[in-house]
Amino acid sequence: MGLFPKMLNVRFTILLQFLSFLSFAQQNLVPYVRPMIGTEKMGHTFPGATVPFGAVQLSPDSDTLSYEFNGKYNGDVYRYCAGYKYENKTIVGFSHTHFSGTGHSDLGDFLIMPTQGALQLNPGTESNPKSGYRSAFSHANEVAEAGYYKVKLDDHSILAELTASNRVGLHQYTFPKSDQSHIILDLTHGIYNYEDKVVWTYVRVVNDTLITGYRQTNGWARTRTVYFALSFSKPFKSYGQQSLDKPQVYKGFWRKFDQTKNFPEIAGKRIRMYFDFDTQDGEKVKLKMALSPVSQENALANMQTEVPHWNFDQVKVQAQTAWNRELNKIQIDASENDKINFYTSLYHAFVNPTVYMDANGQYKGLDQGVHQASGFTNYTTFSLWDTYRALHPFFNIIQPSRNNDMVQSMIKHYDQSTLKMLPIWSHYANDNWCMSGYHSVSVVADAIIKGVYKGDAGKALDACIATSNHRDYEGIGEYIDKGYVPATVNSNSVSNTLEYAYDDWCIAQLARKLGRQDVYDTYRKRAENWKNVYDKSINFMRPRLTDGTFKKEFDVYSTHGQGFIEGNSWNFSFFVPHDPATLVQYMGGPTKFAARLDTLFAMNLPDKFFAETEDITREGIIGGYIHGNEPAHHVAYLYNWAGQPWKTQERIRMILRMQYKPTPDGLGGNDDCGQMSAWYMFSSMGFYPVSPGSEEYSLGSPSVRSAKLQLENGQTFSVEAINQSDKNVYVQKVLLNGKPLNQLTISHSDILKGGKLTFYMSAKPTKK
């Protein structure tokens, strides 16, 4: 396999651009050296070492900001959702768990930092790094590849290198000559941290090369316990700890011991440990950190199973081979910039969800009990408000076996839930309940309808029904009774109503497939509830009060306090992905509807209208269309329902060009666990799932010259764009397997059969 690209000039959200030119002779990846994409304010991805969908994401963290400041939320912490910010000049250490592209955060478990010289057990500050164990660094001495990260820690003259297997992070530190070399294990560190986030920590020093333990935190996941086993390639000569715990009235009888130095059993809320070494010049000290959701014993078993040796290069090659295999599933021919964007997006899409079980198949369930995965891989990190739109549909084509396991994981989540609900946002044996809708039903229905899910479809439908009828969650009871969520009940009343209506349509489609006519009839009717928040007098979605009247004080431009989550009425008024044809009629017919879309893309939306909405920034906005957040991701395709597909083609290519750039600040918003990336890949290949739960993909305008999809069933599906160029954005005609495709959609079954979709491109629109 070819080597992977190195980093030139990474910025704030660091998951590198993986440009991989794929020849159509099925050669190995030939990577190019390019920076990654991400914006200065958003993106929140990390630069470290992981394998596809790996449980370990080993990465540098560049500061230690607290979630809290003077008793209130510290807005600056938002910039550190992934732990790393490009503008920072220092690194505090390397932690083992991170989120990719989320707008909220957690994790940052088990921070490791190598140092030399006088021992310091506080992280110091960016302005004065030498006041603590952190170190200055230069991007010129930083390299990031798939499965590998390297950086020179200037203040300690230490070269740090990282790689990983699924459950093990492998560190290699090249030290100078010193009799004061240290490796620090900071168990207080975390992302979106605050003083009382760590509930309890336990450490057991087994011998002079092995320690085990666990840490329980209370954050985005309310009850999250991660176990670890840490092994050193070289015995440490001494060790100790510093406790930052507040004095307690009850001190117990452990006070008989001096627990600060060379004491083998440590417990407390806020612990920092150190391990001392003598090193020769250029000596490499390695360590392995294995994680487990179940036990210390399982963490050690994970280490022994996955990395039983100390061959750093072997683990690196295995990680990069795994990435090479995954990135080879789609081969494209395109401009250099489009290749960079495409393979960066493909990389991002295969970071989350993450494996959440041990090598022996055990995992911790939502009930906090230990479960055995039988016949499937258990996953977590389901950012479903984002990923149901394009990422999971993308998996149904490129990663169907994994998506089958992901749906199975959702069903197990339901089984273990005391509330009997499918996940809203699954996170380490917890639901953090972030965002709105019950979009797991979209993922479940889409997978079953497309033949991906191999489990009990009837049970899955029952889980969807139960979730949709949980009356005390986010206004569902009122939604069932009134056909909408009143503004007095929920601050996101309109967007909740719209999202529930779409999800209910998914349930209806699944019920129809399974022959459950009674369920189909009920949910087909519920799917029309979007009409109940549509104010025909102004042609916008609008909050409605308990008495049925529309809220008087209302601003269609504002994203704050208007009944919508992370969006405004201009964007959410187009959120009827399951019934665009009826929405077109409600908005006055095709001509008026298309003109309304034109206005959305052409208007000026002043900053004041999204100033209070943290997840929306100027970089992700085109006119009034907010691409940097998800609710409007389908909107450019709606021209197809207005009889003006050439405008869909024009808008798609504009969005591809403006929101995805091969530069350090090139991504127009949070990647949100791969959703932004999946939108890019679908759209660059010329089709998109406007309404998951349907077999149909809406056609757009491909930006690649060709793409070849290696399907899991052994078939190959190809896309070719004849006369492709930056100017030729319009589609003259489309052929499927050499025959005219006289419609604006292609079906999932057509893709699975293999074959070829051919677009003929032109600089002039074809208006027929």
SS3 of 390-445: CHHHHHHHHCHHHHHHHHHHHHHHHHHCCCCCCCCEECCCCECCCCCCCCHHHHHH
The whole-number pLDDT of residue 8 equals: 25
> What average pLDDT does the segment 534-548 reach?
97
Pairing mode, if any, of strands 72-73 and 739-740? unpaired
Percent of the chain whose predicted confidence (pLDDT) is above 90: 83
The whole-number pLDDT of residue 94 equals: 97
Reported as type and span, the H/E element at residue 2 is none
> What average pLDDT does the segment 645-659 reach?
97
Q: Tens digit of pLDDT for each residue in 342-365?
A: 999 999 999 999 999 999 999 999
Q: How confident is the model at residue 515 (pLDDT cuts 50, 70, 90)?
A: very high
Q: Which SS3 state, helix, strand or coil, does residue 563 take?
A: coil
Q: Cα 528 to the chain's mean position, in Å?
A: 31
Q: Tens digit of pLDDT for each residue in 705-726?
A: 999 999 999 999 999 999 999 9
The whole-number pLDDT of residue 47 equals: 85
Query: Any residues with CB less than 8 A from the CB of 453 and at least 6 apart, and which?
Result: 403, 404, 407, 408, 444, 447, 460
Say if residues 675 and 627 touch (Cβ distance below 8 Å).
no
CA distance 38 to 91: 19
Q: Would you tell me which CATH number, out of the four given (3.30.2080.10, 3.10.180.10, 3.30.499.10, 3.20.20.70), belongs to the domain 329-533+542-762?
A: 3.30.2080.10
Residue 561 has pLDDT above 50, yes or no: yes
Q: Among 223-237, 269-283, 569-583, 604-618, name the one with the lowest average pLDDT.
A: 604-618
The whole-number pLDDT of residue 667 equals: 86
CB atoms within 10 A of CB 538: 13
With vertex at residue 30, the alpha carbon angle to CA 24 and CA 33, rounded to the nearest 5 degrees, is: 140
> What average pLDDT does the segment 502-507 reach?
98
Q: How confident is the model at residue 548 (pLDDT cuts 50, 70, 90)?
A: very high
The closest of 760, 756, 758 to 718, measured between CA atoms, is: 756
Q: If you average pLDDT over every residue of the chain, what do you get?
A: 92
CA distance 339 to 742: 30
Q: How confident is the model at residue 82 (pLDDT cuts 50, 70, 90)?
A: confident
More confident residue, 521 or 612: 521
Say if residues 355 and 381 touch (Cβ distance below 8 Å).
no
Q: Tens digit of pLDDT for each residue in 416-462?
A: 999 999 999 999 999 999 999 999 999 999 999 999 999 999 999 99
What is the residue-wise DSSP string for 77-102?
A: GGGGTTS--TT--EE-EEES---SS-
Whether the ω angle into residue 353 lies within 30 degrees of 0, i.e. cis, is: yes
The whole-number pLDDT of residue 31 equals: 42
The whole-number pLDDT of residue 6 equals: 27
Amino acid at 289: M
> What average pLDDT does the segment 483-489 reach?
97
The whole-number pLDDT of residue 248 equals: 85
The whole-number pLDDT of residue 48 equals: 86
Scan for tokens 């080879």, then name that residue. Answer: 328
Helix (H) and strand (E) counts for the chain?
17, 40
Q: Where in the chain is the domain with CATH 2.70.98.10?
A: 19-325
| Residue 83 Ramachandran class (φ > 0 left, ψ -120 to 50 alpha, else beta) | left
Q: In the chain, what is the straight-line distance between the N-terminal and C-terminal CA atoms, in Å? A: 47
Q: What backbone torsions phi and psi does residue 433 show, to the nearest 5 degrees? A: 60, 25
Say if residues 63 and 32 touch (Cβ distance below 8 Å).
no
Q: How confident is the model at residue 44 (pLDDT cuts 50, 70, 90)?
A: low
Residue 20 has pLDDT above 80, yes or no: no
CA distance 209 to 226: 21
Q: Among 79-83, 653-657, 658-662, 674-678, name the one with the lowest average pLDDT.
A: 79-83
The whole-number pLDDT of residue 79 equals: 82
- The CATH number of 19-325 is 2.70.98.10
The whole-number pLDDT of residue 63 equals: 86
Q: Among 23-27, 146-150, 493-497, 729-733, name the one with the lowest average pLDDT.
A: 23-27
Residue 668 has pLDDT above 90, yes or no: no
Residue 21 has pLDDT above 70, yes or no: no
Q: Cα 453 to the chain's mean position, in Å?
A: 22
Q: How confident is the model at residue 64 (pLDDT cuts 50, 70, 90)?
A: confident
Reported as type and span, the H/E element at residue 284 is strand 283-292
Residue 112 has pLDDT above 90, yes or no: yes
Q: How confident is the model at residue 611 (pLDDT cuts 50, 70, 90)?
A: confident
CA distance 225 to 413: 17
Reported as type and span, the H/E element at residue 534 is strand 534-535
Say if residues 299 and 292 touch (Cβ distance below 8 Å).
yes
The whole-number pLDDT of residue 80 equals: 85
10 Å CB burial of residue 559 (0-12, 13-18, 19+) is: buried
Q: Where in the chain is the domain with CATH 3.30.2080.10?
A: 329-533+542-762
Residue 760 has pLDDT above 50, yes or no: yes
Q: Which SS3 state, helix, strand or coil, does residue 369 take?
A: coil
Say if residues 710 and 693 touch (Cβ distance below 8 Å).
no
Query: Any residues with CB less than 8 A from the CB of 506 and at least 6 apart, and which?
Result: 441, 442, 445, 446, 464, 578, 692, 693
Reported as type and span, the H/E element at residue 592 is helix 590-602
Q: Facing residues of 232 across strands?
A: 287
